[in-house]
Amino acid sequence: MSKIESSLDKLFAKLVQIKDTGKVRLCALWQKLSPHMHLLKKMNYANTKAFVIRFKWRILLLLIVLYAGSKAYDYYFPAAAKKGGGPQTITSVVVEKKDIPLIIEATGTTVSNSIVDIRPMVTNTVAKIHIKDGQEVKEGQLLFTLDDRNDKANYERLKALADDAQKQYLRAKELVEKNFISKAGLETSFANAKSAASAARSAEVQLSFDSIRSPINGRAGIINVFPGSLVQASNIVSTATNSTATSSVGSMVTITQLNPINVQFVIPEKDIPIILENRQGDAPLNVKVTIGNTGKNTYEGQVLVIDNQVDPLIASVRVKAQIPNDKLEILPGQFARVSLYANTLKDVIAVPTQAVVIGPNGRLVYVVDKDDKVAAKPVKVSYEYQGTSVITGINSGDRIVVEGKQNLRNGSKVREAKPSKSDAAPADKTPSTEQK
């Protein structure tokens, strides 16, 4: 403030110098015109016209100087100052300690909680398709039936052999008790029965491959096979999954779990300490997710995982949250706006952001005392969100200027503006958790 006062003093001295110089030049002009003043006594229209034409440039210059001097004086010395410094109209609020949610905003995309490509375990032809494109399926639901005639016949043959081997073993036990065969014969019969049973179970497993069932609850995508299509066994899953989409090659159909659905986003490296320092044990962090650009579809969920490393290319860490999708209105790959509630700042001074002035020496606010005079107080802003700033440097109960602070100086007199009838809410209302 001392620099500003020094500049104003220099400006005032300059104006005084200009005024004195103007007086000197006006006196010189008056002396030049005084010999001709006798003409004013004989002033008439003709003489006046001749006088104006003769001294037109000097008269014009005099009028310009007078006009410019008047405007400059009114600009640097307004009417309020000339009358002794009237109070400046302002809008103020009384600050109080509040609980402010600590919120981190980010953007991301929706991703499926689980995606499974349905592929055959055996090379065979499709006999029947039990679902339709886009159908909701349950875990264990039958999706496809392959041609199982050969596998069924093989299973029935091995099952019959296993049943016969088991009967032979039971008969051998009776014969051993009567000493008709040796114990070695009994052991051989037991091994044959066990081997036959294992072969039957293997055939049963092979037969089960002809009935393809859904491993998860979800929605079926586009079916890529038809009855009669030849499908080949393959253990190589050619699937590319990223944050926006999943592409599959060679699958019969893709099952995508939509409820619940995940949201993947990144947060800047500078915000990582805020999240990690304020986590309370294993308590999950809450998120509020808005899907699309309309802002109408908002869902609440929880953070599932924070990645264990920072991506150095973007200086951010990946975070995955989960939200409900009961109506199945959200699909993977949609744009999402995420508000992550990291913590709640307890008993802090929260003021409207517009009350904070950025000066040459840092940030400050104008505090109004009981005599309606303002004083500049330096402050430090620790958190800012949606028009509210958490600051330190003033006390609870202080009255600060919000509007009308442009021409204020230390010691300036102020008065509160009268509230208009259209004001629906007090000026010191700060955003609540719901607004954020």
> What does the pLDDT read at residue 232?
86
Using one digit for the tens of pLDDT, what is the confidence trace for 12-35? 667 667 767 767 777 776 666 666
| Phi/psi at 248 (5° precision) | -125, 145
Residue extents of the structural domains in the chain: 2-77, 88-99+346-416, 119-254, 257-345
Nearest partner of 248 among 112, 75, 435, judged by Cα? 112
Please report which confidence band the pLDDT of residue 83 belongs to, taking 50, 70 and 90 as the band edges: very low
Residue 425 has pLDDT above 50, yes or no: no
Please report which confidence band the pLDDT of residue 43 belongs to, taking 50, 70 and 90 as the band edges: low
Mean pLDDT, residues 2-19 taken together: 64
Q: Are strands 362-368 and 374-378 parallel, antiparallel or unpaired?
A: antiparallel
Query: Same CATH fold, 119-254 and 88-99+346-416?
Result: no
Nearest partner of 90 among 380, 381, 379, 419, judged by Cα? 419
Q: Which CATH architecture has domain 88-99+346-416?
A: Beta Barrel (2.40)
Q: Average pLDDT of the chain?
A: 81
Using one digit for the tens of pLDDT, what is the confidence trace for 323-348? 999 888 898 999 999 999 888 788 88
What radius of gyration, in Å, describes the C-alpha atoms of the chain?
45
In words, the CATH class of domain 119-254 is mainly beta
Using one digit for the tens of pLDDT, what is the confidence trace for 209-246? 999 999 999 999 999 889 998 888 864 444 444 544 44
Please report which confidence band the pLDDT of residue 164 belongs to, taking 50, 70 and 90 as the band edges: very high
240 versus 208: the higher-pLDDT residue is 208
Question: Which residue, chain included where needed, has tokens 């049973």?
Answer: 197
Residue 297 has pLDDT above 70, yes or no: yes
The superfamily CATH assigns to domain 257-345 is Efflux pump adaptor protein, beta barrel domain (2.40.30.170)
Please report which confidence band the pLDDT of residue 433 belongs to, taking 50, 70 and 90 as the band edges: very low
Residue 283 and residue 294 in contact, taking contact as beta carbons nearer than 8 Å: no
Q: What percent of the chain has pLDDT over 90?
A: 33
289 versus 346: the higher-pLDDT residue is 289
